Homo-oligomer: A and B are copies of this chain.
Amino acid sequence: MNNSSLRQNVHNLFAFYRFLVIIQKKGCGGVRLRTAITRKKGNGPMQSHRIALSAYQADDSYIGRVQKLVRDVVIPYQYQILNDALPDAEKSHAVENIRLAGRKLRGEAVPPESFYGMVFQDSDVAKWIEAAACTLTAAPDPELERRIDALVALIGQSQHPDGYLNSYFTVKAPERRWTNLRDAHELYCAGHMMEAAVAYFEATGKRELLDIMCRNADCLCRQFLERDRRGCPGHPEVELALMRLWRVTGIARYRELARHFIDVRGQEPNCFAEERKKDPWPVREGSAAEYDPAYSQSHQPVREQRDAVGHAVRAVYLFTGMADVARETGDEALLSSCRALWESITKRRMYVTGGIGSTVQGEAFTEDFDLPNDTAYAETCASIGLIFFAKAMLENEHRGEYGDVMEQAFYNTVLAGMQLDGRRFFYVNPLECVPGVSGVAATQRHVLPERPGWYACACCPPNAARLISSLGAYAYSEGEGVLFADLYAGGAVRTAQGVTLRCETGFPNDGLVRYTMQNSGKFTFAVRIPAWSRETALYVNGRPAELQAVCRDGYAYLKRDWQPGDVVELRLDMTPRKLYASPRIAADSGRICIRRGAQIYCAEEADNGPVLPLLLDDGAQPFAEPFDPELLGGVVPVRTAGFRLRDGVGPYTDERPKAEPATIRLIPYAAWANRGPGQMRVWLPAAFPGLP
């Protein structure tokens, strides 16, 4: 198959869709459109597929600026880290591991102990390649391509003749290949490298890494579809990667293997328990101890799972693969599980910042409504995975809530994961920080008040880079005759169906989103109406959208014979709002947080002095300050009224602490911890006057 037919294949496959029979009765959640919009009768939400990486070109609005930061700073910075060229950062050794594996395969003497780092160190390189590849779609960069090509050559040299690829096992323990699927991340690393291969091929048309990873996928197929039909990945990831590889290559056995991994997961006897019986070698000391199969979502067959449990990143990577397979195979039972798991996460186990994972123990979900702010885990990777899951669900059934959560996780937790200068990163994203306790107390050692430059376990930084640089593929999607705008991303889009349009927006700082058609064509333009926007206005060529517009399931569907210069304008409600948590969430009861548009706000010590003594006045209306281009890379601060409690004598007193009126200034959570360590709170205790 040559390159162009391969690409065609992708779109042919995407063209397949089906209407779901479930009638969705909900409209645009919480939205009151100013113009009357007739609800379109008919079937439920439609399927869609993502646009090609190259179909979106960012302009210099918010997304474009973040992508530029990734391209100009993050990618080169991380390249130095991966090559151990930054002496002050945590040692990576990731590229060197791959080089050593190649040397060993060429017969050179490479002692096992020369491997350094995590068992999944390879995946850092894979994610970096994917991130770098995605940036190439925005701007050619021969030097960067040369670097990637050099890495691809190293990777190729480290591949075994049968397609096997993993520097840890090649250098350290070749005889132990596939004997610790539970902990050794072989399939996880393979998956990430497949994703990198797909991205690099899509960005450049270069096949070398794609061919390497097809050989690797073939090796996996032989191993897991023929030799060991019980094995499955301890850390899901390869499922969604195989689906991507299938979409690009059209090779059906990759999809078959993805589905197989999903089918065998959680079946009795548990494959991880079985392999431990054969040879219980530990990846790290102590790691062979007690193991809860729920940690890796292998406690029951996936079609029976209804609660999101265990390691949060494993969970959302798995659920993404499940949703992908459900879409492509029409597996209703699987989709039904995905829906239940989505509900479990987003209705009961997700922070208001789109963070998931309530505990450091197992980096995991805990129980419904257990969402502590100070000991939160809320790993950056987990929110990235949640975006994958949301996108995969969107592709199954286009409903605004998936887009809403995608946006919530992106504009809050994912962006908070990166310093504004692109050189430091959070792994853990707490909703409350008290220097002196956070990062220090035994229960909060994982909660750092400032972003480190790198991590021994460095999964998050390159993961954020690849998500950001591929954001266009999350911002838009296509259904039959429909172009969906799922996120508000300024720039130009050109779809496979021939639609081109330009989006101009100051989002998330500003609520005006203007789409201008660049060519003519009869199609439906569907734009997400976020549930958070209470008063939303939609204009087509300056006129309020009325009969033209159909709003259902969180999207406004505008069907029209579009002409060049036609303008669709969305005016979102950017009034700062007080948010209240369900009283079931113990950590937030009696507290309020502030949201403006897609952004959750927080109070920081830099603006307020110590934050712990602040009470937010529920009787006051928060208001937005003017956009400040100098502050934190350009934000709209919010002010509201409250009180500051004075500290009394001793820890407990029966005299009410003196309170003085205070103005509380809040900034977007994504921008916290950019001005030195200080107290930070998302949920502030409320002063509730005049209840009820």
Contacts and interface: CB of A to CB of B under 8 A. Distances in A.
A12 B540 CA distance: 99
A328 B652 CA distance: 33
Nearest to A348: B651
B369 A437 contact: yes
A643 interface: yes
A685 B650 CA distance: 20
A442 interface: yes
A578 B443 contact: no
Interface string A625-656: 00000000000000000010111101111111
Contact of A612 (B367, B589, B685): B589
A362 B441 CA distance: 11
A42 interface: no
A255 interface: no
A686 B595 CA distance: 22
A442 B363 CA distance: 10
Contact of A436 (B368, B374, B583, B687): B368
A651 B366 CA distance: 16
A124 interface: no
Contacts of A613: 583, 589
Contacts of A361: 442-443
Interface string A412-449: 00000000000000000000101011001111100000
A659 B692 contact: yes
Q: Is the interface of A mostly helix, strand, loop or mixed?
A: loop
Contact of A650 (B347, B437, B656, B688): B347
A590 B643 contact: no
Interface residues of A, number: 77
A375 interface: yes
Given A348-B651, A579-B654, A586 B615 contact: no
B434 A586 contact: yes
B647 A374 contact: no
Interface in A331-369: 346-348, 350, 352, 358-359, 361-362, 364, 366-369
Given A612-B583, A652-B579, A690 B691 contact: no
Nearest to A600: B652
A163 B443 CA distance: 43
Nearest to A655: B580
A651 B581 contact: yes
A658 interface: yes
B442 A366 contact: yes
A330 B643 CA distance: 49
A582 interface: yes
A373 to B, nearest CB: 9
Given A359-B442, A577-B654, A437 B370 contact: yes
Contact of A367 (B436, B579, B650, B690): B436
B359 A441 contact: yes
B692 A660 contact: yes
B595 A612 contact: no
A310 B613 CA distance: 28
Given A580-B652, A590-B590, A685-B685, A658 B367 contact: no
Contact of A580 (B362, B432, B442, B653): B653
Contacts of A617: 691
A523 interface: no
Contact of A432 (B364, B582, B586): B586
A550 B286 CA distance: 63
A647 B584 contact: yes
Nearest to A594: B654
A469 to B, nearest CB: 30
Contact of A370 (B350, B441, B586, B589): B441
A689 interface: yes
Given A584-B612, A586-B432, A618 B441 contact: no
Given A434-B586, A442-B361, A652 B352 contact: yes
Nearest to A591: B590
A443 B367 CA distance: 10
Contacts of A650: 347, 582
Given A361-B443, A366-B443, A367-B437, 5 more contacts: A358-B441, A358-B443, A374-B586, A590-B591, A643-B688
Interface of A: 286, 346-348, 350, 352, 358-359, 361-362, 364, 366-370, 372, 374-375, 432, 434, 436-437, 440-444, 532, 534, 577-586, 589-591, 593, 595, 610, 612-613, 615, 617-618, 643, 645-648, 650-661, 684-692
Counting from the closest, the 6 A-B pairs by CB-CB distance are: A590-B685, A583-B613, A366-B441, A659-B692, A361-B442, A577-B654
